[in-house]
């Protein structure tokens, strides 16, 4: 790799050279960091007069060593430089950026290299000098000042960042923070009044309301404070291209592996999956850097055959997209746009070619639909492929692993003869008796397959119904991941989810606008957004469980042996796990030194280092994990890669390994996305939120009420599972302090929000009880109490208004989010809590069906479909009892006279608060054109009758004395 005795600069890669005395040039005599004289002078001229490694001032070191004729012991110096040059050669490389891993630390545990070296700047300077040297020899010498100006101008152009942070203006964020603090103070005064002023006549109701209100305040704190420092980001794709795609040179952009996961082609239509795949293959990125892996976890021949058709259609579709730069590049959504498709098109042939392409796509749709129609009924003997052999996946729960490379191999070209991206079909092996871990297990299988076949340094995962809406989305992510400063400790770039096919009023808050445009911006200003399951670009090294390069090791315990701290005892398991992770990092670093071993010796050394216990029994895969910049190892045999890929997706491969525990997608919850991102950020990684003007990805969401509630139920149950697991943010990951406190609050909020359903159901029931009993949870208001209530309501309104102001969210989206918080809370979240307890106590697991992705032909037709489910019972009951309570309250007021109307106002306002929040649910039940399901009417009548009888006949809310006196009065009446 280098000649013995030659020392290379860690900034520019050139030889260090010698000083005036003929000795090796040394800039810092403290750590002997190898840097050439030209780079040293540039650092000093730029004002950076400290060592890049140890931060020791250059001038002080030179003054201290003036007394010594030689610069220390020459053998010691040479040894130090040899170590340093090894560091430079085996450091992490992102494109042309050279850095040092966090494994190299001094005895105190602090990182040795304190400052980042931007080597692309130095290389540009060196290249400039090399180009100007021949001119100086052959022609007139260029003035030194002019040379310096040219160098500085080129460096200034190269030093431009690929992304910038745009903080929220102080005029908007400062009032927002002030109101949050004021609201917190008002809450404290409000609870002081509520606790010190009980309602003796309705003590049970009062106590219940106090408990509910305290929990609501706690939930508000968890949700509000992680939004303390929201930010926006802007990217510069043109600078990315200028830096990594220079004319006449091969593209230096990093490769990306796309993951598309699907299970049931009858519920996830193959046409939707095909559009997602086509949009990926046609993305605006070098074709040799793109690979698309489709995971068929249902082993369906329908998915396989539809991919065959998709690969054939891609040969026409990809050149058409790139020739005319169309958006989006999913044909179904491109041809369905209601816009002027001739806008900005100047090529005369566009209309003709577009018409021909649309005809080809219609024929493609017919072929796909024919395959779907054929697959509706499975033959008794099972499916048979075109060559007459039986389909290996006829039994979806017992079949071998299957891999098929459709595109990307030799001979796979489009109709214009250009190279095509790689397209790979993957169906992992499944056998009875093995735990397959659903989507998380499928994603981990794709990680291993892609590492063996392509091993791109970055991974982008999408659901089968999320297509690429912005062809430059990958470049947007690379502006962060390939940035020398930002990308170093970046584990993933998360894009917001945007959806098609949602009604304009967004009745059930399917767009989740408040979460994606408010909460995620707030998290981006702390440690980064949470991972939401799709539309995310990962750093592959972060998925392997490594710590970020700049993260220091855990500090040594300072407590004495006779008085061990409680925290140390509590976090002993955390310290052990982090220590094992540091050992693995160190072993991997040492393994990078291997360059001359043959395959057998390398295999033996890997085995001795126990890499199999972490990554599994695949030498090819383990060796790929050591290549931070991606690419296949030189020792890999291309003819054996498919066989090795089949091996790594075998059902027993993950047995006794760290897959799903420390590396890859983490198991233990149906919401594996939250858990996976949480584990990464506990190791110290950061994430970034990218919101391009044109949405990067778009998907479909279940818009009818039943499917929407089932979707929310799945998310809530996953949060409850994490709450009861060892990964609960309340106690996991405290060792090392790598997770910021506001970030921890955000993760706590993601796992405790389903428990809000319990106080929410109680609070929504209170108005009806108050109206039926004639009692109330609040005593007669004084002037102070009225001021507190008014201040609380005003602070809530002002907080919402200021939040809308800095986030850009509409008031309608905020109101829909508030409504569905109540609807989901009293239905799906409530069921999730009880199912979580059942799973923890009795081991009862709940299987979820995949939500259907296709809607009716009519616009928003699915919105009005009602699929009866038990999730609809609690909200229906709450609506009925509150309506009954309002009727009963007005009846009492009419009979009680003028004095009864005053107390009635607060109770009715309370009841209408519940009814207004449940109004979208009620409207969904009523359907369209009076098509209300009969079962809903029966339930409503039954519940209304029951509660009316309870109020009129049974009357449990009247004391025995009152009931006896009433009966005596009735007897004395002569009828």
| Per-residue pLDDT at 91 | 30
| Per-residue pLDDT at 214 | 93
Give the lowest-confidence range in 246-260, 392-406, 626-640, 701-715: 626-640
- Among candidate residues 101, 517, 673, 707, the one labeled active-site is 673
SS3 call for 406? strand
Q: How far does CA 544 lie from the centroid of its chain?
A: 17
pLDDT tens track for 740-768: 899 999 999 999 999 999 999 999 998 88
| Spatial distance between the Cα atoms of 923 and 934, rounded to a whole number of angstroms | 15
968 contacts: CB under 8 Å, gap ≥ 6: none
For the chain, the structural domain boundaries read 169-228+733-952
∠ CA(639), CA(642), CA(644), 5° rounding? Answer: 100
Give the lowest-confidence range in 328-342, 351-365, 749-763: 328-342
Number of neighbouring beta carbons within 10 Å of residue 3 = 6
Calculate the alpha carbon distances from 90 to 72, 124, 437 in Å. Answer: 27, 22, 36
Q: Is 845 a catalytic residue?
A: no
| Per-residue pLDDT at 403 | 92
Q: Does 438 belong to an annotated binding site?
A: yes
Determine contact, residues 523/529, Cβ cutoff 8 Å.
Answer: yes
pLDDT tens track for 191-247: 999 898 888 888 888 899 999 999 999 999 999 999 999 999 999 999 999 889 888
Model confidence at 424: pLDDT above 90 = yes
pLDDT tens track for 367-386: 999 999 988 888 888 888 88
Give the lowest-confidence range in 161-170, 578-587, 704-713, 872-881: 578-587
- Among candidate residues 124, 296, 297, 506, the one labeled active-site is 297
Give bridge partners of residue 697 from the DSSP assignment: 468
Determine contact, residues 37/54, Cβ cutoff 8 Å.
Answer: no
| Per-residue pLDDT at 148 | 54
Determine contact, residues 112/106, Cβ cutoff 8 Å.
Answer: yes
pLDDT tens track for 389-420: 888 888 888 889 999 888 876 667 878 888 89
Average pLDDT score over residue span 476-502: 90
pLDDT tens track for 557-581: 333 333 334 444 444 444 444 554 5
Q: Does 471 belong to an annotated binding site?
A: no
The burial class, CB within 10 Å (0-12 / 13-18 / 19+), for 796 is middle
| Per-residue pLDDT at 668 | 85
Q: Does 268 belong to an annotated binding site?
A: yes
| Per-residue pLDDT at 859 | 53
Put simply, whether the predicted model's pTM sits higher than 0.85 gets the answer no
Q: Does 106 belong to an annotated binding site?
A: no
Compare 366 and 884 and report the one with higher pLDDT.
Answer: 366
| Per-residue pLDDT at 268 | 87
Q: Does 296 belong to an annotated binding site?
A: no
Compare 553 and 404 and report the one with higher pLDDT.
Answer: 404
Average pLDDT score over residue span 302-324: 92
| Per-residue pLDDT at 67 | 41
Model confidence at 854: pLDDT above 50 = no
The upper half-sphere exposure of residue 318, i.e. CA atoms within 13 Å in the direction of its Cβ, equals: 29
Model confidence at 318: pLDDT above 90 = yes
């Amino acid at each position: 790799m280098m000649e013995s005795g030659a020392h290379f600069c860690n900034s520019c890669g050139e030889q260090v050279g010698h000083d005036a005395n003929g000795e090796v040039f040394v800039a810092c005599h403290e750590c002997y960091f190898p840097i050439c004289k030209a780079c040293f002078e540039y650092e000093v001229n730029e004002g950076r007069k400290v060592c890049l490694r140890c931060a020791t001032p250059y001038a002080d070191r030179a003054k201290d060593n003036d007394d010594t004729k030689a610069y220390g012991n020459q053998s010691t110096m040479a040894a130090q430089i040899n170590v340093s040059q090894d560091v430079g050669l085996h450091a992490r490389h992102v494109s042309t950026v050279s850095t040092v891993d966090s494994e190299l630390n001094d005895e105190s545990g602090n990182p040795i290299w304190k400052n980042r070296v931007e080597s692309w700047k130095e290389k540009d300077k060196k290249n400039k000098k090399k180009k100007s040297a021949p001119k100086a020899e052959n022609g007139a010498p260029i003035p030194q000042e002019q040379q310096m100006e040219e160098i500085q101008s080129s460096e200034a152009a190269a030093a431009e960042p690929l992304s910038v942070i745009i903080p929220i203006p102080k005029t908007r964020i400062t009032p927002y923070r002030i109101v949050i603090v004021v609201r917190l103070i008002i809450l404290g005064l409000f609870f002081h009044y509520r606790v010190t002023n009980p309602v003796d006549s309705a003590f049970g109701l009062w106590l219940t309301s106090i408990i509910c209100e305290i929990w609501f305040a706690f939930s508000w704190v968890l949700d509000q404070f992680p939004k303390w420092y929201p930010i926006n980001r802007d990217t510069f794709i043109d600078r990315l291209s200028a830096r990594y795609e220079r004319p006449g040179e091969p593209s230096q952009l990093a490769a990306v592996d796309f993951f598309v996961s699907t299970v049931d082609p009858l519920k996830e239509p193959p046409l939707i999956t095909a559009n997602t795949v086509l949009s990926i293959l046609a993305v605006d990125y070098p074709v040799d850097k793109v690979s698309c892996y489709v995971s068929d976890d249902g082993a369906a021949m329908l998915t396989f055959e539809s991919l065959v058709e998709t690969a054939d259609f891609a040969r026409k579709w990809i050149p058409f997209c790139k020739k005319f730069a169309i958006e989006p590049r999913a044909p179904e959504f491109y041809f369905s746009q209601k816009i002027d498709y001739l806008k900005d098109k100047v090529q005369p042939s566009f209309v003709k070619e577009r018409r021909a392409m649309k005809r080809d796509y219609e024929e493609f749709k017919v072929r796909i639909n024919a395959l779907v129609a054929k697959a509706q009924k499975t033959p008794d003997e099972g499916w048979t492929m075109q060559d007459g052999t039986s389909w290996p996946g006829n039994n979806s729960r017992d079949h071998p692993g299957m891999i098929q490379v459709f595109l990307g191999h030799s001979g796979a070209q489009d109709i214009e003869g250009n190279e095509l991206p790689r397209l790979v079909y993957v169906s992992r092996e499944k056998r009875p008796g093995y735990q397959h871990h659903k989507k998380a297990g499928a994603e981990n299988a794709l990680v291993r397959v892609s590492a063996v076949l392509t091993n791109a340094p970055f991974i982008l995962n999408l659901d089968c119904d999320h297509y690429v809406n912005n062809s430059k989305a990958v470049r947007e992510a690379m502006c962060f991941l390939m940035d020398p400063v930002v990308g170093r400790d970046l584990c993933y770039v998360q894009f917001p989810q945007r959806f098609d096919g949602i009604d304009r009023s967004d009745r059930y808050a399917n767009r989740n606008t408040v979460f994606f445009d408010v909460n995620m911006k707030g998290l981006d200003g702390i440690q980064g957004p949470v991972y939401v399951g799709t539309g995310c670009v990962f750093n592959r090294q972060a998925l392997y469980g490594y710590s970020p390069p700049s993260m220091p090791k855990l500090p040594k315990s300072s407590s004495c042996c006779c008085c061990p701290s409680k925290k140390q005892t509590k976090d002993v398991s955390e310290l052990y796990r982090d220590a094992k992770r540091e050992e693995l990092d160190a072993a991997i670093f040492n393994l990078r030194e291997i360059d001359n071993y043959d395959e057998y010796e390398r295999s033996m050394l890997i085995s001795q280092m126990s890499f199999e216990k972490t990554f599994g029994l695949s030498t090819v895969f383990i060796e790929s994990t050591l290549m931070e910049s991606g690419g296949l190892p030189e020792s890999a045999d291309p003819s054996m890669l498919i066989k090795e890929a089949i091996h790594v997706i075998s059902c027993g491969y993950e047995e006794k390994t760290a897959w799903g525990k420390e590396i890859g997608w983490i198991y233990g919850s149906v919401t594996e996305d939250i858990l996976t991102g949480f584990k990464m950020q506990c190791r110290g990684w950061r994430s970034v939120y990218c919101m391009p003007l044109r949405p990067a990805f778009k998907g479909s969401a279940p818009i009818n009420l039943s499917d929407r509630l089932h979707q929310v139920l799945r998310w809530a149950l996953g949060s409850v599972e994490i709450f009861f697991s060892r990964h609960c943010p309340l106690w996991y990951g405290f060792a090392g302090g790598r997770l910021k406190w506001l970030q921890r609050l955000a993760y706590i909020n993601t796992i405790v929000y389903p428990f809000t359903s319990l106080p929410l159901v109680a609070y929504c029931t209170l108005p009806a009880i108050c109206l039926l009993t004639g009692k109330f949870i609040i005593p007669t208001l004084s002037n102070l109490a009225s001021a507190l209530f008014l201040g609380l309501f005003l602070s809530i309104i002002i907080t919402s208004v200021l939040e809308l102001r800095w986030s850009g969210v509409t008031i309608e989206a905020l109101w829909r989010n508030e409504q569905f918080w109540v609807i989901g809370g009293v239905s799906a979240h409530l069921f999730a809590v009880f199912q979580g307890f059942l799973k923890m106590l009795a081991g009862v697991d709940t299987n979820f069906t995949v939500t259907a992705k296709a809607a009716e032909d009519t616009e928003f037709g699915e919105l009005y479909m009602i699929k009866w489910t038990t999730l609809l019972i609690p909200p229906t009951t709450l609506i009925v009892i509150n309506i009954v309570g309002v009727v009963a309250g007005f009846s009492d007021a009419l009979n009680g006279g003028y004095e009864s109307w005053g107390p009635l106002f607060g109770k009715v306002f309370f009841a209408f608060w519940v009814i207004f929040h449940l109004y979208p649910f009620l409207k969904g039940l009523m359907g369209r054109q009076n098509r209300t399901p009969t079962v809903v009417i029966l339930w409503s009548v039954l519940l209304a009758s029951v509660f009316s009888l309870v109020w009129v006949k049974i009357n449990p809310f009247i004391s025995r004395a009152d009931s006896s006196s009433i009966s005596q009065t009735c007897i004395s009446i002569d009828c």
